[in-house]
Amino acid sequence: MDDLIKVEIKDLEIFGYHGVLDSEKENGQTFKICLNYWIAEKDFADNVENTIDYARVTKVIEKTFKAKRYNLLETLAQAILKTLFAKFDGIVKAKIKLKKPQVELSSNVDSVSVSLSKSSS
């Protein structure tokens, strides 16, 4: 495999209405998203047009995140990665972590998160 460059977007905060409980769907909350994606190393000629611009990636994440309300973080993570692979041909591999900081559980829990990794087919 060719040498890969890893790009990391850490703690992107987006407000959304995802969850199973009515209170989550009505009140919403701020989620944190971390994304790592890998691209093949090449001569980029120091030009943003020759790479996958992380500013565009964050916009795609935000648009996908807000396009629909999801009950499960797992399904939301799948939707985001599917969209990223469809929009950006140069992504070789990606890993996303969705963190829900406000969780209503009977136990004292700080947060819940889901991670998903995917490679291009």
Q: CA-CA distance, 79 to 100, in Å (whole number)?
A: 17
Strands 91-100 and 112-119: antiparallel
pLDDT tens readout for residues 83-103: 999 999 999 999 999 999 887
Domain harbouring 8, CATH code: 3.30.1130.10
Q: How many domains does the chain have?
A: 1
Write out the H or E segment, with its range, that includes residue 95. strand 91-100
Range of the domain at 79: 4-119
Q: Which two tokens stand for residue 34?
A: 């971390």
Beta bridge partners of 4: 40
Q: What is the DSSP letter of 49?
A: G
More confident residue, 1 or 25: 25
Task: Count the Cβ atoms, other than its own, within 10 Å of residue 61.
Answer: 20
pLDDT tens for 33-60 read: 999 999 998 888 998 888 899 999 999 9
